Structure 1
Amino acid sequence: MKIKITAAILVSMLFTISSCTDLDEQLYDRVEDGNFGNTPKEIDALVGGAYSSLRGFADGISNNYPTCEYVFFLNETVSDEATIPTRGTNWYDGGQYQDAQKHTWKADNRMILSAWRYNYTGIAKINSIIYQIDKSSLTDNAKAPIYAELKALRAYYYYNLLDLFGNVPIVIDFADTALPSNSTRKQVYDFVEKELKDAIPHLTSNVVYSKMTKNVAYALLARLYLNSQAFIGTARWQDCIDMCQKISGYTLAPDFFANFATQNEKSPEIIFAIPYDSKAGTVGNYMSSMSCHYLHKLTISPVGDYPWSANGMCAQPGVYSAFADTDKRKKCMIAGDQINLATGTVITMDNGEPLTYTEEVTSVADAKENQGVRLGKYEMKAGETWERDHDLVVIRYAEILMMQAECYVRLGSADLAKPFVQQVTARAGEEMPAVIDLNFIDQELLKEFTFEGRRRTDNIRFGTFFQPWWEKGTTPAYRAIFPIPSTVLTTNKNLVQNPGY
């Protein structure tokens, strides 16, 4: 088919974007010309391109993967649950992880750039597809559900930007060539809410895996309302409950770890996920190799039939011990002696010391190779390749239950929270507490959603983000959002930096 290069404004906003040759990341600055987009098969291909953008991309500028480098890294390392300490000469990387831990990041931190590019590249892709649908010969009635699905997905990206950066440009016209200015955080909030509400009547009510449906839109609105006070200063707890109660067709998986198995698409709990299939060529899903020690493969396979690991991210001190030993979810972390399956003995590191993961981490600037409890939430098994096949969980039913519980507590009706909390704690093998308060909810969110990339937002909502914790002092309020990346400001002089930076 013929390809027409457009003057997409998002290309300018993302500055010098390299050409993408991977089929998953293809042509987000181009639009198919001619009559493409008029048959169901062609429409599916176009909409599929929007969903493929969720997996992110890498180029000569940055790695922009929601599973690991650096979108996931950013959300985790500024929270109270994870850290990437410097180990000898490894994992210093210009001090970006130390700055994240200490909440002293600057606008040139490449993790921040990665989060910006990930979301705006997805938005640019969707805008290009909407442009193509506009030009198609489909009837208005045929276009309506397609627009709804695309705009709901775009709203997901804008929700991320609202959460991370606050005052960002709203760009929805692919053909617009003007450099945009910031919108206020309230304007972005209102845009996300309207886009989702407008989409809902045209979205399917069915449970459809990894697609935008009514259930997914309700869940995103619930997230928006749950964090409304943090985002715009207006509490909307009851609105969050109302959205949660519209969600149907899901239940908790009896086995907590079924949500994180290699074939986790079978879980009855997952409301929205980003699919991965290494045989189909998906890339970026290698977080399982970003945490454990270099020799950890010997604990997975007696012959070492497991990808190399980079000995990076680990739990912050205090996270592992926050779990009771009876809590089944504690197994999402890897601690203690690491056994070589071939010998049955503890692995010996190159320095002659045993590979024993400790909760203690001496310092974010100078940690030992074995320090820090490691991430083990997603299934790890012999024979895996660098690109894993489990899908990335974005929203699951446990979140819907816990959102309602939190909102009832905040509304002064803790008794109404009990049925929701009980489902979550019972699966974990834990007893219900005598009193359900916000401190309990906060700790339960930590345990239920450890290493799922959402802890920063919870920290901000509960106010703990601004309090001292391990290797961090008091955080000023302006750091609840990140600075607009310095390279983006250089490219677009119409943008104004967020206050405080």
Structure 2
Amino acid sequence: MKREHFKSSLLIMLSMLLVVSCTDLEIEESDSLIADSETEFTGIEEPGPFIDNLYSADLKGIVENQQDLYALNEVTTDELLVPTRGTDWGDNGIWRKLHEHTWDAQHPYVLNNWNNLNQLVFRASQVIDDRTTNASATQKADARFVRAYAMFWVMDMYGQAPFRTPGDGPNIDPMVMTRPEAFEFILDDLNTALPDLPARGPSDENLRPSKAAVNFLLAKLYLNKHIYLGSGTPAAADMTKVVELVDAITADGYALESGYFNIFRSDVDTETIFFTISSVGNRMWNGLHYNQNSPGNGGGGWNGWSTLAEFYDLFEGDPNTNVPGSGQEERRGFVPTDGSNLGIGFGFLIGQQYDANGNPLTDRPGNPLIFEKELPTLAGNNERTGIRTIKYHPENGEFEGHQIIFRYADAHLMKAEAILRGGTSGDATLALVNDLRTIRNATPLAAVTEQDLIDERGRELYKEFWRRNDLIRFGKFADAWALKINTDDFRVLFPVPATALLTNPNLTQNPGY
């Protein structure tokens, strides 16, 4: 059996180029869901290794990449930005455009993300296809779960989802599901997979899906259902469903874990529902300065990614320093002054930085390495502007292959939000939020509003892929924040990549692009 690949249709491409005005469009094999197959698809002969590759290669690569899925969900928000420092991180403005909200249908990360996710959908479909008759029920459930995960992001980010069955020939254009149709497709995949996956609590085997992982993704679907179906208002029944799904996760043995930054080690904990063997290197080194290093990475950081002062100010503590004893809650972390933890702090790095001997660091020109709170612009920065963020830490492995995808604290906050939005439960939103705040050494709240909830999600889940999704659900993605240029409402969806439109006439461009 010859494995099918995504390939563009030359005839469609040429005909569309006659009527579509685009410049510098390069059509790659992965820019379309049109399969180039010289032989009929007869199924996957060895589904076990094939599924292993879906998780250990395809999904791994998507999650560990600092571009594409991660950048589109984080750098487009108030949480992260990538300022240009001299010529470093200039990259023809592609990072700045994400934070400014000035991306278009030719942005490379918009295209790459589309290709990567849709390719994962297609490859998982090869296992699920009826012609793959020697796959076990669990193997097909594993494939359905990863397909649902990939299609969830396609639906969430692009508002439509192309789909083709593995046996379709190269002359058949992929059909395109609307957002509500894709929602139902994902829902069916997850509900079909659920009975055939193990009921597994905290475990080092959670790099494969369990019932808890399925229930987590189902909870995300129902929590955002009013966004995906366009009703505008969450239904009480859907919010109650979120509560029930989170309660099922709790019943499997998951719970909030104390010691916030220990959760991001590779050790088994009560919070990690689903993880990949993706390297965490990008998550730590892309923001650390060139002179911040470790025994396993003497070359230091890459000195790019930062956060906004206004996001840092969401946390309790002194607004101008984050050394130990600054009155900060645990999640804001600290900057060690005694050389502990390789001299590299946790959470938010602001002010003077130190080496592993407790000596003050300098930047490359010799200035004190003091991370400044404010960024003057997105371009023209020096080496010191911007607060840096770090959750995964090099003392636990400079490029450790353990990155969390689903975490219980997220589910806990989903339940709190669902109750606030009308879901039925024996628990109360305020108590749930304060349970989390107490274990994170933050002052309990007297009441909880929607603003409190979105802020709490930011404090708990920063750098974990969800900020864009959360801001959209709370109606805040189009809000103004520092160094952002546009506040266009239509940017809650990304454009369909220009080359994808050329290769599949069933696709339509999203409004505004």
TM-score category, normalised to shorter length? 0.7 to 0.9
TM superposition shift of 1:271: 0.5
Letter in 1 for 2:417: E
Question: 1:321-359, CA deviations, whole angstroms, 9 ceiling, x for partnerless residues?
Answer: 2211331010122222111335x4322222231111122
Corresponding residue for 1:21?
none
Q: CA deviation at 1:129?
A: 3.1
TM-fit CA distance, 1:317: 2.1
Instruction: Pick one of 260, 269, 289 that aligns with 1:256.
Output: 260
Aligned partners of 2:44 and 2:127 also within 8 Å: no
Partner of 1:61: none
1:240 corresponds to: 242
1:479 pairs with 2:503: no
Query: How do 1:271-286 residues align onto structure 2 when only pairs under 5 Å count?
Result: 271-276=273-278, 285-286=281-282
Moved more, 390-399 or 416-425: 416-425
In structure 1, the residue matched to 2:348 is 333
Q: Distance in 2 between matches of 1:318 and 1:367?
A: 18
Describe how 1:188-267 pairs up with structure 2 within 5 A: 188-207=182-201, 208-234=205-231, 235=234, 236-247=238-249, 248-261=252-265, 263-264=266-267, 266-267=268-269
**Structure 2 CA distance for partners of 1:5 and 1:431, relative to 1, 3 Å:** closer
In the alignment, what sits opposite 1:323?
Answer: 315
Give the superposition deviation at 1:229. Answer: 1.8
Name structure 2 gaps, 5 residues minimum. Answer: 10-25, 31-35, 318-327, 334-346
Correspondence for 2:473 = 461
Deviation at 1:47, TM superposition (A): 2.0
Match of 1:109 in 2: 107
- AA in 2 matched with 1:210: L
Which structure 2 residues correspond to residues 63-102 of structure 1 after superposition, within 5 A? 66-102=64-100
| Distance in 2 separating the partners of 1:394 and 1:74 | 16
| Contact 1:82–1:313 (CA under 8 A) maintained in structure 2 | yes
Are residues 1:368 and 2:382 paired?
Answer: yes
Aligned pairs (5 A) from 1:355-434: 355-381=369-395, 384=397, 388-411=399-422, 416-434=428-446
> Which residue, out of 140, 145, 162, partners 1:152?
145
Please name the residue that 1:23 is paired with.
none
User: TM-score, normalization: structure 2?
Assistant: 0.82
CA distance in 2, matches of 1:286, 1:29: 36
Q: Aligned to 1:393, what secondary structure does the other structure show?
A: strand
Cα distance in 1 for partners of 2:302, 2:313 equals 24
AA of the residue aligned to 1:192: I
Residue 215 of structure 1 aligns to a residue in which SS?
Answer: helix
TM-score of the pair, normalised by structure 1: 0.84
Q: RMSD value over aligned CA atoms?
A: 2.9
Q: How far apart are 1:473 and its partner, in Å?
A: 4.6
Unaligned runs of 5+ in 1: 19-27, 58-63, 277-282
Distance verdict in 2 for CA 1:327–1:54, change over 3 Å: farther
What is the correspondence of 1:13-28 to structure 2 with a 5 Å cutoff? 16-17=28-29
Q: Deviation of residue 175 (structure 1)?
A: 4.2
Structure 1 residue 153: Cα displacement: 1.4
Cα distance in 1 for residues equivalent to 2:38 and 2:60:
17
Q: Distance in 2 between matches of 1:401 and 1:288?
A: 26
SS at the partner of 2:176? coil
The residue type equivalent to 1:105 in the other structure is: W
Deviation at 1:43, TM superposition (A): 4.2
**Alpha-carbon distance change, 126 to 418 in structure 1, aligned in 2, over 3 angstroms:** same
SS in 2 for 1:319: helix
Q: Report the Cα offset of residue 134 of structure 1.
A: 2.8
Deviation at 1:193, TM superposition (A): 1.2
Letter in structure 1 aligned against 2:243: I
- 1:403 deviates by 0.4
SS at match of 1:434: coil
Aligned residue identity for 2:352: D
- SS of 1:193's partner is helix
Question: Aligned partners of 2:499 and 2:280: how far apart in 1?
Answer: 24
Q: CA deviation at 1:149?
A: 2.0
With 94-103 and 437-446 compared, the bigger mean Cα shift is at 94-103
Asked if structure 2 preserves the Cα contact closer than 8 Å seen for 1:250 and 1:268, the reply is yes
CA contact (8 A) 1:253 1:259 kept: yes
Say whether 1:488 aligns with 2:500: yes
Counterpart CA distance in 2 for 1:36 and 1:150 is 12
Q: Is the 8 A contact 1:162 1:188 kept in 2?
A: yes
Query: How many Å separate the matches in 2 of 1:76 and 1:445?
Result: 14
Bigger mean CA deviation after superposition, 368-377 or 305-314:
305-314
Task: Note if contact 1:11-1:29 (Cα within 8 Å) is conserved in structure 2.
Answer: no
Equivalent pair of 1:185/1:231 in contact (CA under 8 Å): yes
User: Take 2:280 and 2:116, find their aligned partners in 1: how far apart are those partners?
Assistant: 12
Q: Residues 170-185 of structure 1: matches in 2 within 5 Å?
A: 170-177=163-170, 178-185=172-179
Question: How many residues are matched?
Answer: 458
Q: CA offset at residue 413 of structure 1?
A: 8.0
Identical columns (%): 27
Range moving further from structure 2, 469-478 or 104-113: 469-478
Q: Give the distance between the partners of 1:412 and 1:268, measured in 2 at CA.
A: 25
Please give the secondary structure, in 1, of the residue aligned with 2:511: coil
SS of the counterpart of 1:169?
strand
Deviation at 1:205, TM superposition (A): 1.9
1:268-306 superposed Cα distances (whole Å, 9 cap, x missing partner): 210011124xxxxxx685332211111111xx45xx854
